[in-house]
Amino acid sequence: MMKKGITLALALATSLTFAQTLTTNTGAPVGDNQNSKTIGNNGQVLLEDIHLIEKLAAFDRERIPERVVHARGAGAFGEFVADADFSEVTMANFLSQAGKTTPVFVRFSTVTHQQGSPETYRDPRGFAVKFYTEQGNYDLVGNNLPVFFIRDAIKFPDMVHAFRPSPITNRASDPNRVFDFFSNLPESTHMLTWLFSDYGTPANYRQMEGNGVHAYKWVNDKGEVTYVKYKWVPQQEVKNLTQAEADKIQSTSIEHATVDLYDAIENKNYPKWDLYVQMIKKSDFDKFDFNPVDVTKIWPANQVESVKVGTMTLNQNPTNYFQQVEQAAFSPGTLIPGIEPSEDKLLQGRLFSYADTQRHRLTGNFQQLPINQPKNKVTTYNSDGYMSMRVQEGDVNYQPSTNKPEVKEDNKYRYSTSVFPAETITTQQVIDKENNFKQAGELYRSFSKQDKDNLIKNLSGALNTVKNKVIVNKMIAHFYQADKEYGNRLLKATNTKLSDIEEYFEKNNY
């Protein structure tokens, strides 16, 4: 009886083995995956071993160019449920009724460091959400922090270069380079205050906020425009790390946040975020002492209320990291009817840059990859190119055409109309109402005593490694203008003289 049972088990195992025969990429069965074809048992390997050549060639091409920014990331699938009908202010149909459910994919990331870097580094965190709506995909691309370092995309390559390793020493995130750059950009004061607080080291991806950062336009079916800013608020407690806590985690794990997200979902502890928007009209812009589309500014909560839009739940882990997380492509230019970009100078540049980097990484047909495919039918005359997989039939691949069926556009989805003052000119100038320091000071004063202490410790620690004292003087001058206590504490912590700062003020007409 025992022997019969063993024979049956072996037969079952054999049948299961042959149920999934190993094949080449073209589907031909593989006879031997352990031994190359050679001249005799001990001779040279033959070039005609097609399986060997294909296997090695595929292996050689497993890596694609990593993202220039946001290279290290983790992701998950889920759903977004709208709280109400927002069609009065936007045509975006995933917000057209209470309870409407839209599938999503979310990618979290660090920003300035390479793929294998620790997730404990002081760095903004990316928070990108792809909504698979009935009108096509919509990407809400943001960060955990509500503002950014620069306000014009023309500075973006230089900023990233400053964060990158030195071309001489290859030292990553060299404060001498980073602060040299930012000491010449007073607009960075607000973001640096966020970054060197404990918000610069979130405990994990589940327990951090998300922000759209930029202002966008919501447009209704009458063409009326409302400016909005987005914020994701976790239903989980917001949690950050002190530098000491981050250092302790880094000593044992460089991917703690990725593991935390995966394990939480695997254990059915599904993370949730509520989405809020702030809304203003163009006629409200003059009420602020800053430009509302300036990405270095928040819209103060006491001036613009937040309205809950819906709730997102992440409930499914990826089944293949490369295909679903690494190949996920986000761009703030991936929009749907009812949502348009604002005049934000940084956003305007990102509309091109983000999609262009995906074309470089994943070919011009990156939207055809399963993770990036919309759920609705795609009807387009864009055609051909590397890895084109979209079904293309018929003789007409142009528009307009007399032949039937002709693809037509729907005028109700035209872009909104913008009104400009008479005698509008083109120019290359800084925006009106820079107001570089006020909100940084308000942020500092909003922190608890412990948060202030940690900020001063983190920031002065980095400044104390900068060799050029002029750069330190310039940086402290910025923080001093944000708040005198803030500046004085940094003066003391860096052993800097107030007279040096005053000299900088005088030279720069502050």
* Structure tokens, 301: 């909560």
Architecture of 73-164+204-368 per CATH? Beta Barrel (2.40)
405 upstream amide cis, omega within 30 of 0: yes
- CA dist 165 and 171 (Å) reads 5
Q: pLDDT tens across 464-473, in order? A: 999 999 999 9
The DSSP output letter for 285 is: G
The single residue of 51, 70, 190, 256 carrying the catalytic annotation is: 70
Integer angstrom CA distances of residue 404 from 384, 394, 398: 22, 10, 12
- Three-state secondary structure of 276-306: EEEEECHHHHHHCCCCCCCCCCCCCCCCCCE
List the chain domain ranges.
Answer: 73-164+204-368, 438-507
Query: Is 113 among the catalytic positions?
Result: no
* Structure tokens, 186: 């007073």
The share of the chain scoring above pLDDT 70, in percent, equals 96
Name which of 108, 105, 84, 104 is nearest 96 in CA terms: 84
Enumerate the β-bridge partners of residue 211: 143, 231
C-alpha angle 195-107-265 in degrees, rounded to nearest 5:
105
Asked if 241 and 201 touch (Cβ cutoff 8 Å), the reply is: yes
Asked if 314 and 106 touch (Cβ cutoff 8 Å), the reply is: yes
Q: What is the pLDDT of residue 509?
A: 64
* Structure tokens, 322: 């490369």
Q: pLDDT tens across 146-171, in order? A: 999 999 999 999 999 999 999 999 88
10-residue mean pLDDT series, the chain (510 residues): 49 52 87 90 88 86 88 95 98 97 97 88 96 96 97 93 91 90 96 97 97 97 96 97 95 94 98 98 96 97 98 98 95 95 94 92 92 91 85 83 78 83 82 95 98 98 95 95 96 91 72
Angle of helix 484-493 versus helix 438-446 axis, rounded to 10: 80
- CA dist 63 and 345 (Å) reads 33
- CA dist 184 and 470 (Å) reads 11
Q: pLDDT tens across 111-156, in order? A: 988 888 889 999 999 999 999 999 999 999 999 999 999 999 999 9
Q: pLDDT tens across 308-341, in order? A: 999 999 999 999 999 999 999 999 999 999 999 9
Burial of 272 (0-12, 13-18, 19+ CB in 10 A): middle
Cα-Cα-Cα-Cα torsion 393, 399, 404, 409, nearest 10 degrees, comes to 110
* Structure tokens, 380: 């387009």
The single residue of 51, 113, 137, 143 carrying the catalytic annotation is: 143
- CA dist 301 and 299 (Å) reads 6
Query: Is 240 among the catalytic positions?
Result: no
